[in-house]
Amino acid sequence: MNHCIACFLVLMLPSLDSRELISDLPTEPVLSLEERTDWLIDPSPYRAGVFRGNNADEIILSNGLVRRTFRIAPNLATVAIDNLVTGESVLRSVRPEAQVVIDGIAFDVGGLTGQPNHAFLREQWIDDMESDPAAFQFLRFEIGFPEERFAWKKVRHHSPDVQWPPRGVSLRFDLVPPIKPGIDDNPDESVMISVHYELYDGIPCFSKWLSVHNRTDQKITIDRFTSEIIAAVEHTSRVEDRSVHYPTPDLLVETDYVFSGMDPETVTRYSV
């Protein structure tokens, strides 16, 4: 329960600097080989939590099965995604957390620039990477627990003990429009984009979505958005084109924006 206590501390102290909040987070627990179980049979060792990383600006979202590592300075960015079951590193390049088109203008949401080679990512490069001044900028984060998204009547006889909402942890990042140099150096929260994550106990699964907050007196139009951008390590490296199917990275994406298909590969062809 240590990580749960830390979650409450973060929520109760929103005025503290983000680095101070990170320093109060626990370190990520390390499961020994003997403690590791087949999560499909016994998921109990794998508890989701938010932890501090090796860097003062680093936040880790992990449950012992998957880990996602963020930097919050000089801007918010995912800098690592790791499969802790196989030991694989999924990420080969840093990308924005999302992209949103507002009133016809495209904005990156977070992200870092300056990676010297996008075929692979070295940890020592990250400290030298910079924020794109035209992107939405990190403001704050908040930790909590998954909330019930809709009422669910539990009638499944084979899973009477199922938990709803699922047990786990939530992590929200708030980002604001880019600061205009020489005009106003204070964060402009008139239009704010929140990037929401949930990670659940006992299953290698992240949930992610965006919310846009318009605090102005004028209407804005969200023309288009991309909620997830992952430059993943390729499944295989083929150097010739033989007009055959190229296998995709070992990632499964589920979305409520699915239609016009009868199998996972076709129903998401317009959204993934």
User: 183-197, 214-228, 234-248 — which one is most confidently predicted on average?
Assistant: 214-228
Residue 30, pLDDT > 80, answer yes
**Res 76: pLDDT:** 97
Rounded-to-integer distance, Cα 203 and Cα 65, Å: 7
Give the max Cα distance, the chain. 63
Residue 4, pLDDT > 50, answer no
**Res 200: pLDDT:** 97
Q: Are strands 137-144 and 168-176 parallel, antiparallel or unpaired?
A: antiparallel
The conformation of residue 23, written as its DSSP 8-state character, comes to H
Report the predicted TM-score, pTM, of the whole model to 2 decimal places: 0.86
Rounded-to-integer distance, Cα 242 and Cα 46, Å: 42
Which backbone phi and psi does 124 adopt, to 5 degrees?
-70, -15
Q: In this structure, are residues 65 and 82 in contact, taking their beta carbons and an 8 Å threshold?
A: no
Report CA dihedral (18, 60, 228, 48) to the nearest 10 degrees: -120
Work out the percent of the chain whose per-residue pLDDT is above 90.
67
**Res 188: pLDDT:** 86
**Res 5: pLDDT:** 31
